[in-house]
Structure 1
Amino acid sequence: MPNPRIEPLKRVLAIEPTDEVAWFGLGKAYMEDGNFEEAAKALQQCVTVKPTYSAAYYALAQSLHKLGRIDECRAVSSTGIDVSTKNGDAMVTKNLEMLKSSLPN
Structure 2
Amino acid sequence: MPNPRIEPLKKVLAMDPNDDVAWFGLGKAYMDDGNFEEAVTALRQCITVKPTYSAAYYALAQSLHKLGRHAECREIAATGIDISAKNGDAMVTKNLESLKSSLPA
TM-score range with shorter-chain normalisation? over 0.9
**Letter matched to residue 76 of structure 1:** I
Q: TM-score, normalised by structure 1?
A: 1.00
For the residues of structure 2 that align with 1:69 and 1:42, how far apart are their CA atoms?
16
The Cα of 1:94 is off from its aligned counterpart by: 0.1
Stretches (4+) displaced over 2 A: none
Task: Note the aligned Cα RMSD (angstroms).
Answer: 0.2
The Cα of 1:64 is off from its aligned counterpart by: 0.2
Q: Residue 38 of structure 2 aligns with which residue?
A: 38
| Residue 103 in structure 1 maps to residue 103 in structure 2 | yes
Q: Which runs of 5+ in 2 are unaligned?
A: none
**Letter matched to residue 56 of structure 2:** A
For the residues of structure 2 that align with 1:87 and 1:8, how far apart are their CA atoms?
29
Q: Tell me the matched-pair count.
A: 105
Q: Which runs of 5+ in 1 are unaligned?
A: none
Q: TM-score, normalised by structure 2?
A: 1.00
The Cα of 1:19 is off from its aligned counterpart by: 0.2
For the residues of structure 1 that align with 2:70 and 2:37, how far apart are their CA atoms?
14
For the residues of structure 2 that align with 1:32 and 1:53, how far apart are their CA atoms?
19
